Chains A and B, each alone.
Chain A
Amino acid sequence: MTIPTSSIEQVIPGQGSMAQPEEPRPGRSRRQRFLFVRNKKAATGLVILAGYTIVGVIGPWVAPYDPSARGNDLVQGPSAAHWFGTTHLGQDVFSQILVGTRSVMLVGFLAGAIATVLSVLIGVTAGYLGGKTDDSLSMLTNVVLVIPAVPLMIIITSVLNNASDMLVALVIGLTSWSWNARVLRAQTLSLRRRDFVEASRASGESTWRIIVFELMPNLTAVIASGFVGTVIFAVLSEITLAFIGVVSNSGWNWGTILFWAQGQQALGQDAWWWFVPAGLAIALLGTSLSLINFGIDEFVSPRLRSAGKTKLRTASGRTVRMRIGFTPVLENSPLPKTHAVVATPVMREAK
């Protein structure tokens, strides 16, 4: 499943996060927003996500069949009448996918929102207030972090018989906030001694005003990237729970489709159309969210952008490979005479 792909989330102990978001400059904010959308990865991700959202809203209306209605064509391959084929009961797989999108999107975003609110509350409070509060909140965060989330979710949802979408979103949200809280705490720690925060403290602003109006705008990128990451995780978790059949099977989502495909031996019957579309739908949604996260990441820390064409030809016909962070070295340039002498101690070390 997903390991956080964003470098913002990589916290080096004692130093806070790798990427420090730029402090916002009011006049440039609109241009920066366009910059974010101009990032190819982010734009692609946003377009795909918009597509899913539209399907999530209109899916149940445009679906050609009732996803649960039985038909006479049992386990038929894709055809003009059934684009993605049919199930063991003659249900239309394409309609199931369309109808199932709503539940997936709903649970994903709801759980993401719950986890993000929790992580901001706990992470920022811990980072800003420090002392005893920080100790106990960090302890709580770390405990939740190391307890494996997926088995816990499975146990809780199976105890809550036939959990509804809302309940599933709540369970996922409550078990997946801890990583973001840790990242936000580290980021807040590094922000709270900055001059502008000290200045507002000196001018007598209340703690909550400092947190909401001074700190939060600087944490936007981290919060956004955490939100997107949690949505990916929530979608995968919901599908996992539906796949092993611990949630209510009355509604449709992509996991339910896979649950029936697995239970009814789709593999043994060579019915690839039954499980391939749902998996690809999950993968595409996950990819689009990861792309948005890469976009946020590169927006905050330009170094991470994939470099374009890096080999350049100089006027004298030499090729130079440009790399950010490196001084270009001209290959086949004659070594200065003194070089050998200087290099001796280094050469020894090189061995």
Chain B
Amino acid sequence: MTITIETQTDQPLLELKDLRTHFHTFAGVVKAVNGVSFKIGAGEIMGLVGESGGGKSVVGFSILGLIESPGKIEGGEILFDGEDLAKASDERLREIRGRDISMVFQDPMTSLNPLHTVGDQMDEVLRLHSNLDADARKQACIKMLESVGISQAEERLKAYPHQFSGGMRQRVVIAIAMLAQPRLIIADEPTTALDVTIQSQILKLMRQQIADNGASMILVTHDLAVVSEMADHITVLYCGQVVEQGKTRDIIESPSHPYTRGLIDSIPDPTDRMARLNQIPGNVPDIRNLPKGCNFRARCPRAQDLCAEQEPTLKPQHNSLVSACHFPLQPGEK
């Protein structure tokens, strides 16, 4: 890799421009990601939220070049520090993966190799991405395990994944992800499989690791509560497209897109207990066969004739928000 040049402060660490990742299946083309753009600055946490099938995980996989056939990045740019990863060779991507960008997966039970010790799996990262000797690598691994809160780290390096509990395994996965001091971490539902007391431990740990290393993070999750406690910015996806973006507080307090409003209102709010939850009617439409116009219109309480004819584009709204809606909500409007 070339010498790191001081990046200008206004250049984002990662910029997605109109990313399109499609899957060519026998049943038709699944446009899982269909024109997604966003930016993340150094040290920022971006929350990527949406329901199942929104395309949020595919965005994460696309950035790392982990899309396999029948999936394909059909267009758009993934600018990481100015370099377009969508056009990068496999070799170059392998260099970047684990060193500059690393990933934390949802399921700590399956993302570690059961046949290798934790120490081997940690060592692999440093063997590939550093020129430290064996002893220094081991010391680095021990230090990393300790910093994620695993005691007797030296002993535990010899243990296999099945000898750890779920929470401990997720700590190991985070330790592996942080080991090469990456500049960007993509965390795909990192705490969804964990219990709530363990979740709060892991979230705290991730926040601290990111602050200590000055890294950025994309936090992919369906849980708005987790995002609202962790992220600086939120991007809401629906049917593979961005429907709303903005600063976390602005989105949570007063979203402009009816889908975001619906997601927030679906969460039972302990401070304001109503007899009924405000539900979003219906289901996510079939992504192979999206309706004309706005994808959300069949479930939207504000839909009008225009929504069936013309697809809304992203437009600036109040505060820091940008959203794709013909009839956006005004501040304070329900």
Indicate, yes or no, whether A interacts with B. no
